[in-house]
Every structure is written in structure tokens, then in C-alpha cells.
Chain A
Amino acid sequence: MKREIHETDMIHQDEGYVVRHSVLVMMQHWLVALSGLVLLFSGFGQLPVYKRYMLNQVPGLAWASDFILQFKIHMAAAAVFTFAGIFHLVYHYIEGGRSIMPMKGDVRESVQIIKSMMKGEKEPPHGKFLAEQRLAYALIGFSIIVLILSGYLKFADNLPGVTIPYAVVFWNTMVHNLATVVFFLAFLVHIGAFVLKSNWPLFSSMFTGKVKLAYAEERHPLWMNEMRRGEATKNRMMAECVVRVFAGTMVGTGVILGAYISPGWYILPALVAVNLIQSAFTRWCPLENLVVKLGYPRGKDFVWKYNDRN
């Protein structure tokens, strides 16, 4: 059976490869990576360091010390970064992949892996991700969430008519700067991991989405077992939850835009309110119908299996 590349966690026995990342996952990764790099560069550009250290005298980099330009670049990159971050959370919640979430014992296992790498011994069998990848994911993810939230607060403070208490502004700035340091260090460690030859196949998989079958069998036997048992993807979301996410997003956006941009935006939460109430009586919800049409199961038809191993 011919399958498309975006079907992740698939073994292609005859062709000799395993699909490790879907196109969407690679897209998320590179959006976060590229916008993250731009954010780091423009963020450090918010300090007066490029002029002092004469980076702006490097041909083609004269703009680096222009604070206002860097600020605008930072805002644009922040929008992309936020898009990718939220897309990631919602998409993987829906799609059900949990293999990168940290598990109990990951710290101990990471130490063990690093030890065996240094001694040249065989590593313990891995799932789709290594224990230290799961930990790195948690750390980077946490710093990203903190950066986005504190960044949005900083942004709100710059809107005319919005006054945030100075103590909040000051500590929020500190938090944003500290999270930047964590994000930057985590990024260095992430890149540093590819010094090790054993990790090279994972590097190329971020471009191709694939790893060699032999590599996966050798290093990720737990993942191979999961895929063979058909367990690699689970925990799907149902239509009703999608509707709730949408309703909440619309209400939240409408309230924020209504408060800060124009009261006309309050029409959005008002419409959501009317539709939520009427749908309770009529069970008619155009969004739910659309979502079901898209392929999400209705709650009543759906067998919710959070994790059948438990």
C-alpha cells in the first residue's frame, strides 16, 4: 500500500525506512527554530550591544543597531513564534502524540545514556525520543510558554491607554530576560547534541522526516514495538472539544479586542453566547457539523482511550 510522507510513525519495511516526522511536525519545528533565531537576534538587539561591539560595522549589518527596526522585527517574529507554538500544542493534543512528554525516571535514564555514550557502551533501548530529548523538550517548551506570556504582557503595556503597575512591568521584564537565557542555553545544548555522531540520523530526519529502518531497530526498539502494535498514535480529540476550544478562543479574542481596539469586537463573544445557549436546546451547531465533516468523531460515537496501557 502506497502511503504519503505525512503519515508519521510508519514503518516502510520494503523501502527500509521509518517515517519519524510528518511534514506538519517539520514545519512547526522550523517555524519555531527560525522565528526563535530571529527573536534571539532581535532580542539581543534590544540591548545596546551590537553598536558597542561594533557588529553594526560589519558590512550589511548596519541595521543591527537600529533599536526600532529590531523591535519591529521582534514583533513580527513573535507573531510567527506564537503561531507555531500554539499550533504545536493544539495540533498534538488533537493528534494524540505524547511520546515526547517527559516520564518518570527520565533524569536517571539521561545520566545513564550519557554515561554509556562516553564509555562507548550500548545505550538502553529508546522509545521514539531519548530521555534527554524529552527533558529538553520540557525545558524548551516551558521557556517558550514563559517567553510568549511575558512577551504578550510587555506588548500590552506598550498599547496607548494601557497602564500596567510598574512592579509588574519590572518583574515581567526580568522574567522575560531570564526565560531568554534559559531558551538560549537550551538551544545551545540542543545544537550541541549533534556533535555526537550517534545523533546524526536524527538531525537529517528533521529535513527528510525519515530515519533508516536499521537505525530505528537498533536504537529505538521501544518505538518500533509501539508502531508494530499500532500504539504510536492515540488519544484523539472529539468534535465537542474542538468546538469548546473554538468558542473559548473567540470569546477571549473578542473580549481583548473589544477592550483595547474597539468595542465593536464585543459582537464576537455575544454571538458565541447566543449560539452556545441555543445549541444546548436544539443540538444545532454549525461549527460542530463542520468539525464532524472534517473527520472528528462526535462524542457519543467515540471511545475515549487515554492510554490503554494503564
Chain B
Amino acid sequence: MPKNISRRSFLRKLGAAAAVGGAAGIARANPSLAAVSEEKVGILIDLTKCDGCADVPVPRCVTACQTENESRYPQPRDEDVQDYWPQTKHEDWRPKRGLKTTLTPYNWTYVQKVEVNHGGKTHILNIQRRCMHCDTPTCAAVCPFGAIENDSRGAVSIHEVGCMGGAKCREVCPWHIPQRQAGVGIYLKLLPKLAGGGVMYKCDHCAHRLARGQQPACVAACQSRPGREAPLAFGPRKDMLSLARLRAKELNGYVYGDDENGGTGTFYVSPVPYEKIDAVLREREKERFFFPRDPNPLRNPNLWAEATLIAPVAAVAGAVLAGARAFKIGGEGNAEPPPPPEMENGGTREDTEEQEVGR
């Protein structure tokens, strides 16, 4: 019965108001689920339930994301969008501003469509893609300007004010999520020709909504669709994870995001192994977003922690040993009385040492 027990304790956590209907209904009934708590939050994405909003041209989560965040989209001036010298290219997504089928600085989430054969069946999957909000985000760890915040709720956001647009975060991200727009940002005020490339944009888990105790816009929109169980659920990260595992067990399916890159705040549940989804995506010519199984490249920090903590201790120990040697050679202090200059210099010190000890 472990399944029931954990589900029940989960329900209890969500409170009385939430105790209506299934997992998806829970979050719908209580939009200020995470209250304004500082607890880490997560999103569960049940791929068995998502049809990519077949009833509307653009999925609700994508539209809601745009409505919520449009005011923060980049607005460069034409003359500022220039090549990254000495390279003869730059990244300008303005011509594709309306593109809703991939991630751009003007579109922070989209629904990826994949057809996968598994277990003698063809599964048509609609997968909401965006930032995974890692527990230990590689992007935040290596940003040379400290522009990426990993806040107490687990929302990973890029702060425009510190971002030089080097796109390092995109390179180290296992999913290459952040997207660059040239011609905006702090680099214009420094050496725009020589350094920097714009600002990086991505989903920030609607950090501003979380701070108000609201759920992310995409989740709210997903759950507003009438007459269907919502594929997106939002709540405390650990509860979303146990729910995802439960659901995967029910389906005889698979969870993704629980230990990718050392753990994330997004948990996909799929009836198909992610290796198969990934394989289909990799066959596509222009696909940009995959399902890698990369471990966090900055993990095993314990080894480094020990090395960098051992260094100072070893230094102190070594210095004390070496210092003792200096003592034996040089004596305890000043030569007294001063040796006559014609004597071989320094030779008097050991004599002096004996005198001092003798005193």
C-alpha cells in the first residue's frame, strides 16, 4: 500500500481545499498552492494527457507565457544589432518573433511534437519544452557575471542587468535552453564591438508570480481548459516528484528530470522511454531540443571540496614543518653581540643560539 499512503500524505499537505478530484484537479482548486512559501517548487508534465491543445492553433501554455512575459521581451534598436566582431554573425530573432514552435528570446516555451513507436504502438507525444530549473544549475554556477539566480523556490532566472550575452549558459546547459538576442543589454554601454553579444532569455518559472503565491502562467492556462484533465501540475518539488513516480508506476512508464543534470524542478512522465524520444528527435534535421541523459558536469563536487579544503590544511602543516627547519638553521633571533664584519657572516648565528639557550 505504499502508493496510497504517499498519495494520502500528499493530499494532506495540500490542505482541505485541494482535496477535490485527482492530482491535476488539486492544483486547479488551489491556485496559490505554494502560498508565498520559500519551499522549492516543481512542475509535473504528464505526457499521456497532453494533446498540444488540438482545439486551438497555439497551445494555451505557450499563449499564456507570451501574455505574461511579453513586456520583458527584447526590444533592440536596429543600429545596435551588429556582428560579434571578428565573427561575421550575430543572433537576431526579431524576424522570427512570431515563431511559436521553438524556443527564442520571444518565445520561452513551446510544445514539441514527436511520434514514437514503442511496445507495438505508435505514441503521439506533445511535450512542453522550456527551462528545467535544475537543482544545481550549471548555467548559474558558471555564469562569469553572476547574472543567473537560483532562488529559494528553485526558480532559475537570468537577470538582464548582469547579462553580457556570451551564451555560455546555453552551451553548458544540457538542453541548450537560453536564447540570445543581439542589440540589447549592458554590453552596449561597454565595448559593444569587442565583447558581449546581447542578453539571454528563457523561462524563469514565472518567479514574479511565485513570489505572489501564484502558479506559473503556463500551468494556470493549462488547467483552465474545460473538460479535460490538465497535463501540467504544480506544487512543492518533492511532492511533484513523488507524484510523477507514482504516475509512472501506474503507466508502467518513465520519469525524466528527476536526476538529469543532478535533479531538476520539471518532471516529465511518459509511457515511452526517453531514449526512444531522443533517438527520434536526433534523426530530425533541424531539431534543437533533445532528451539527453547527461549527468551534471559540475557534480562530484565533494571530491573538489575535499581537495580545496585539504589545500589550506596541507599548506599550514607544510609551513610549520618548513618553519621548524628554518629555526634550526637560523637560530632563534638576533645575533648578540653583533658579529665583527670580518668574520664569516651568518656563521655567528649558531654560536648565538647556544648562548641564548644557555641563558
Contacts and interface: CB of A to CB of B under 8 A. Distances in A.
Interface of A: 1, 3-4, 6-7, 9-11, 13-14, 22, 24, 46-49, 52-54, 67-68, 71, 75-76, 78-80, 82-91, 94-96, 152, 155, 157-160, 163, 166, 169-174, 177, 227-231, 233-237, 242, 245-246, 249-250, 253, 256-257, 260-261, 291, 294-297, 301-303, 305, 308
Interface of B: 84, 86-87, 135-136, 141-147, 149-152, 159, 162, 166-168, 171-172, 195, 262, 297-299, 301-302, 304-330, 332-336, 338-339, 341, 344-349, 352, 356-357
A228 B345 contact: yes
A229 B335 contact: yes
Contacts of B325: 295
B136 A79 contact: no
Contacts, number: 211
Given A170-B162, A172-B146, A230 B347 contact: no
Contacts of A1: 344, 347
A305 B356 CA distance: 13
Contact of A177 (B145, B168, B172): B145
Contacts of A68: 142, 172, 297-298
A210 to B, nearest CB: 14
B333 A305 contact: yes
Nearest to A95: B326
A236 B356 CA distance: 14
B332 A297 contact: yes
A174 B345 contact: no
Contacts of A157: 141
B345 A10 contact: yes
A9 B326 CA distance: 12
A53 B194 CA distance: 9
A68 B141 CA distance: 11
Contact of B311 (A83, A245, A294): A83
A155 B306 CA distance: 12
Given A7-B330, A91-B323, A86 B338 contact: no
Contacts of A291: 320, 324
A84 to B, nearest CB: 7
B186 to A, nearest CB: 12
